[in-house]
């Protein structure tokens, strides 16, 4: 069978869909509300809210194919068989539903009966105390000599606090040609890095809770989390030397070949020629990195100097250096991006619309870096040749030629050389010492000498909506000072402004200006406002024309400002309420405020109950109704302490001469530079939309304000409830009313009585009611399924028994779309009653012409079948399971065996 990546993915999803798993689409590479991750790096990463019970899953059984990104071992990419930056993880998940037995059965069934892998080549790891898992693998006839019991370091997933448990791993023996040193099974048993025994599936049994002190208790709800890297699975099914020799990668490598004088040879894997290995590695680096670049840019992450943006820039520059090594004509770029999108667009459908954007961004970044990369590489190679490579030269590659530090280290290591990295690190630290690193949105600006030297005074007015201003500073996108920008992007500074700059967790104001110095009074919108190192507000624009001394009218979006002020004041009241109503030791450890919502992060050694959250919520509503006026007090740090003002960053605040305190009566007093309401009545109302763990005893609350926002939120949540109710109606309609008449009537009555909440305060009760109903309906659905399967098994049994003929040695039959497990169980029952007969059953299932043979001379039967038909499969003298590659009918089988 020709196993393409698309087919492997679809087979996985289809298989688990038929096992009542809900198929989830791949989520964005950018984590949502998860600051612990820079990128989505595993299939389960997008499902953490379900496993932690912060959110109710749409189904207890889930399956996905999730795109992931990891760059922690980027230096290995291209030089090993399996390291990649971008990859797909296939996963099936159970949240309080099935557990070890079913998870192992699913894995075995899918690998053997669908992907048609030979179970005799399976090697299994299990946790040393997990007898259930060990016995289940033995039941599947896995050679006990292929199963190894491992300790916690290898087969127990534990993060030190929270849910944890043992795991079992499935390895596949790819054969001796992938074991050049003929080490054999020792590679597997001693966990030696190798390409012969490849891990293709890992199943984690989340069954314990670690209290953080190594004390384990059983979880009431046990979960299953599995992962199978699609590239590994494809390489096994395609019998490819490495992940890079599979269908999609080879298409990309073929494009690279067409634009360079070198050739890629998959068989070079077996030559062990160091020069050839290095040459081939460049093909792999380019193919891998361009895949990652295409996906990340398609999700809006552009090359830049910080965080995710820096990852994209680093990938692109590393790929470009590999291009130089292969003397690659850069005309290949558009072709390879086209092929990447064509290879993935059937499943990742957002890619096609981003094709031109990806190309434009990549070409712009490459053109900028290309100007200096050649000079840098010449300098590097010359220093290597003349033995003059020093820490100072390495630093020059970074500062002058833009080489990322990691790439410099990699270039040095590839040459087998070393330099004094301590001196290099000191040079880098000195370069960064212009100002202390902090958490501002664009903290890299503090390292730019042009911004540090710009000290012209600019004033921000909190309480004005519109103001006339003059351009006093103008910088291009690289922070170079300029006198003029014409229909370009850049940063502008005014002598006075009314737009709030991102700081203190509050997002910048939406706003714009009218430039009166242009003939047509051009309106220019701002896409960001940031504080520079000398506290001026830098207004970022994508397209605009400015000259120094231009006169403008500057304004912020009043609706945005009002909603952001509501939420910032609301966050202060929330913080105070948590301290006064829950625990006085609660201290804000992070916050975000915008027009849409406010969030607050804090540490607490326990989960807050719904009653506690509503107590906090109701207290804030009381403060809103009291119409408490806000006070804006300017004082020094000592004066703020006398006011008992909360200060999140005392070290920083103590260095300022004048500080701003925001006070709401005696209830809330905080040092703050953000925008706020004049009176709590302006907030109108509040509602906590979410509460969840950030890990290690850290929690986050999300809250919204204003009647309009809350009403819109209620409407959106009601639409979800309407959708869920409709889905539950459909489930009930499919249940056999002749068997479950009483249960159906009771559940239908409950569903009919369900009423959508009219007020936000009714939403939680309504949601809980419908979710409880969903749970009960799903339980009945499971019962109905079992009954239907029993009925189907009885029907199959009657049909098989009707075919038993005393004068014939064989019972030959065919079925359509019967679950293999059910068919096998039924067949065993019939065989036990007719042990002198041989049963040969065809099952047309999932477009596969599969078959089962049970009898007393299976080996002889299979030998005869092999001589007449093209088939795959495995078994023993009593049972054989496989699939025909030809169109085999019962008539053909009766003729072959002269059924008598």
User: Is 258 in contact with 332 (CB distance < 8 Å)?
Assistant: yes
> Which pair of tokens denotes residue 66?
């999730």
Q: In the numeric block, which tokens belong to residue 663? A: 């006070």
User: 516 a known binding residue?
Assistant: no
Number of other residues whose CB lies within 10 A of the CB of residue 233: 27
What secondary structure does DSSP assign to 423-485, as a single string?
HHHHHHHHHHTTS-----TTGGGGG-HHHHH-----EE-TT-SEEEEEEEEEE-TT--B-SEE
Gap between the Cα atoms of 517 and 531, Å rounded: 25
Q: Where are the beta strands (DSSP E) in 642-696?
A: 659-664, 668-671, 686-695
CA angle (302, 305, 311) in 5-degree steps: 60
What is the distance between the alpha carbons of residues 232 and 31, in angstroms, rounded to a whole number? 24
Query: What is the C-alpha separation between 520 and 635, in angstroms, rounded?
Result: 45
d(CA 883, CA 872): 5
- Between strands 122-127 and 162-173, the pairing is antiparallel
Q: Who's near 453: CB < 8 A, 6+ residues apart?
A: none
- Nearest-angstrom CA–CA distance, 719 and 721: 5
DSSP states along 30-49: SPSS-TT-SS--STTGGGHH
Which residues, including other chains, have CB under 8 Å from residue 388's CB and lie 6 or more apart? 382
Give residue for tokens 């398609």.
298
CA distance 225 to 66: 13
Q: Are 407 and 415 in contact (CB under 8 A)?
A: no
Pairwise CA distance, residues 66 & 60, whole Å: 18
Residues 6 or more apart whose Cβ sits within 8 Å of residue 343: 5, 248, 251, 252
Residues 694-733: b if buried by 16+ CB within 10 A, e if exposed: beeeebbbbbbbbeebbeebbeebeeebeebbeebeeebe
How far is the CA of 20 from the CAs of 15, 266, 564, in angstroms? 9, 40, 44
The tokens describing 298, both together, are: 């398609």
Instruction: Dig out the tokens for 131 from the structure.
Output: 């007898």
Q: Is 568 annotated as ligand-binding?
A: yes
Long-range contacts of 51-57 (CB under 8 A, 24+ apart): 51/93, 51/95, 51/163, 51/206, 51/223, 51/225, 52/162, 52/163, 52/692, 52/693, 53/221, 54/690, 54/691, 54/692, 54/693, 55/692, 56/771, 57/95
Which strand (E) or helix (H) includes residue 355?
helix 355-385
| 828 annotated ligand-binding residue | no
Concatenating the DSSP letter of every residue in 313-335 gives HHHHHHHHHHHHHTT--TTHHHH
* Residue 167 counted as an annotated binding residue: no
Give which of 784, 859, 75, 757 is closest to 405, Cα–Cα.
75
Query: What residues have CB less than 8 Å from 60, skipping those under 6 apart?
Result: 94, 95, 96, 97, 778
Number of H helices, E strands in the chain: 26, 30
Q: Binding site, residues?
A: 568, 572, 672, 676
Q: Binding site for Zn(2+), residues?
A: 568, 572, 672, 676
């Amino acid at each position: 069978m020709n196993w393409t990546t698309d087919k492997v993915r679809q087979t996985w999803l289809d298989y688990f869909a038929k096992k009542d798993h809900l198929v989830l689409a791949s989520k964005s590479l950018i984590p949502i509300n998860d600051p612990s991750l820079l990128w989505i790096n595993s299939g389960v990463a997008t499902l953490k809210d379900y496993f932690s019970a912060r959110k109710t899953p749409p189904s207890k059984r889930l399956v996905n194919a999730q795109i992931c990104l990891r760059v922690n071992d980027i230096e290995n990419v291209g030089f090993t068989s399996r390291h990649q930056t971008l990859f797909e993880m296939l996963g099936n998940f159970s949240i309080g539903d099935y557990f070890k037995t079913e998870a192992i059965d699913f894995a075995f069934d899918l690998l053997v009966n669908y992907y048609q892998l030979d179970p005799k080549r399976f090697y299994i790891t299990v946790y040393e105390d997990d007898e259930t898992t060990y016995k289940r693998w033995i039941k599947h006839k896995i050679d006990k000599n292929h199963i190894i019991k491992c300790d916690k370091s290898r087969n127990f997933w534990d993060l030190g606090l929270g849910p944890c448990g043992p795991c079992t791993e499935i390895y596949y023996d790819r054969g001796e040609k992938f074991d050049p040193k003929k080490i054999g099974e020792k590679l597997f048993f001693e966990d030696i890095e190798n390409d012969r025994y490849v891990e293709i599936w890992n199943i984690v049994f989340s069954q314990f809770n670690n209290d953080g002190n190594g004390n384990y208790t059983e979880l009431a709800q046990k979960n299953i989390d599995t992962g199978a890297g699609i590239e590994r699975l494809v390489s096994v099914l395609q019998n490819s030397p490495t992940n890079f020799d599979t269908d999609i990668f080879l298409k990309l490598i073929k494009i690279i070949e067409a634009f360079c004088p070198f050739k890629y040879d998959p068989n070079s894997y077996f030559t062990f020629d160091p020069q050839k290995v290095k040459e081939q590695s460049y093909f792999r680096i380019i193919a891998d990195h361009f895949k990652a670049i295409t996906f990340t840019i398609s999700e809006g992450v552009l090359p830049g100097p910080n965080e995710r943006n820096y990852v994209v820039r680093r990938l692109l520059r590393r790929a470009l250096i590999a291009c130089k090594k292969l003397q690659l004509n850069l005309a290949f770029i558009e072709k390879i991006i086209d092929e990447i999108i064509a290879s993935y667009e059937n499943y990742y459908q957002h890619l096609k619309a981003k094709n031109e954007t990806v190309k434009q961004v990549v070409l712009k970044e490459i053109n900028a870096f290309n100007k200096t990369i050649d000079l840098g590489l010449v300098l590097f190679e010359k220093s290597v040749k003349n033995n003059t490579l020093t820490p100072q030269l390495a630093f020059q590659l970074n500062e002058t030629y833009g080489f990322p530090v990691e790439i410099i280290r990699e270039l040095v290591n590839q040459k087998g050389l070393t330099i004094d990295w301590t001196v290099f690190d000191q040079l880098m630290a000195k370069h960064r010492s212009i100002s202390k690193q902090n958490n501002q949105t664009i903290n890299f600006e503090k390292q730019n000498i042009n911004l540090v030297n710009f000290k012209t005074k600019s004033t921000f007015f909190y309480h004005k909506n519109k103001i006339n201003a003059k351009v006093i500073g103008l910088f291009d996108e690289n922070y170079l000072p300029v006198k003029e920008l014409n229909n370009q992007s850049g940063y502008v500074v005014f002598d006075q402004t009314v737009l709030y700059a991102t700081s203190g967790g509050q997002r910048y104001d939406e706003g714009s200006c009218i430039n009166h110095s242009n003939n047509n009074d051009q309106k220019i919108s701002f896409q960001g406002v940031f504080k520079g190192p000398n506290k001026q507000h830098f207004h970022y624009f994508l397209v605009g024309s400015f000259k120094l001394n231009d006169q403008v009218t500057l304004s912020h979006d009043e609706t945005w400002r009002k909603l952001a002020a509501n939420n910032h004041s609301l966050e202060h009241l929330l913080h105070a309420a948590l301290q006064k109503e829950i625990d006085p030791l609660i201290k804000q450890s992070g916050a975000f405020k915008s027009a849409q919502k406010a969030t607050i992060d804090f540490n607490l050694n326990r989960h807050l109950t719904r009653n506690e959250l509503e107590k906090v919520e109701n207290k804030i509503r009381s403060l809103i109704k009291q119409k408490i006026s806000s006070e804006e007090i300017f004082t020094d740090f000592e004066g703020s302490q006398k006011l008992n003002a909360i200060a999140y960053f005392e070290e920083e605040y103590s260095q300022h001469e004048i500080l701003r305190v925001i006070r709401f009566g005696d209830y809330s007093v905080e040092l703050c530079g953000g925008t706020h309401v004049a009176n709590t009545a302006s907030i109108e109302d509040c509602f906590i939309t979410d509460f969840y763990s950030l890990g290690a005893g850290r929690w986050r609350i999300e809250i919204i304000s204003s009647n309009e926002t809350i009403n819109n939120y209620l409407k959106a949540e009601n639409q979800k409830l309407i959708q869920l109710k409709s889905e539950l109606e459909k489930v009930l309609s499919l249940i056999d009313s002749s068997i479950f008449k009483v249960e159906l009537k009771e559940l239908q009555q409950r569903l009919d009585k369900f009423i959508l909440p009219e007020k936000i305060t009714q939403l939680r009760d309504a949601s809980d009611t419908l979710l409880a109903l969903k749970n009960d309906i799903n339980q009945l659905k499971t019962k109905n399924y079992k009954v239907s399967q029993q009925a189907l098994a009885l029907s199959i049994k009657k049909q098989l028994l009707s075919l038993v003929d005393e004068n014939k040695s064989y019972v030959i039959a065919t079925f359509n779309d019967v679950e293999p497990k059910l068919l096998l169980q039924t067949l065993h029952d019939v065989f036990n009653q007719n042990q002198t007969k041989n049963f040969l059953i065809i099952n047309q299932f999932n477009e596969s012409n599969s078959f089962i043979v049970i009898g007393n001379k299976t080996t002889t039967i299979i030998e005869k079948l092999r001589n007449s038909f093209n088939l795959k499969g495995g078994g023993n003298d009593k049972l054989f399971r496989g699939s025909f590659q030809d169109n085999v009918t019962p008539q053909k089988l009766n003729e072959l065996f002269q059924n008598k």
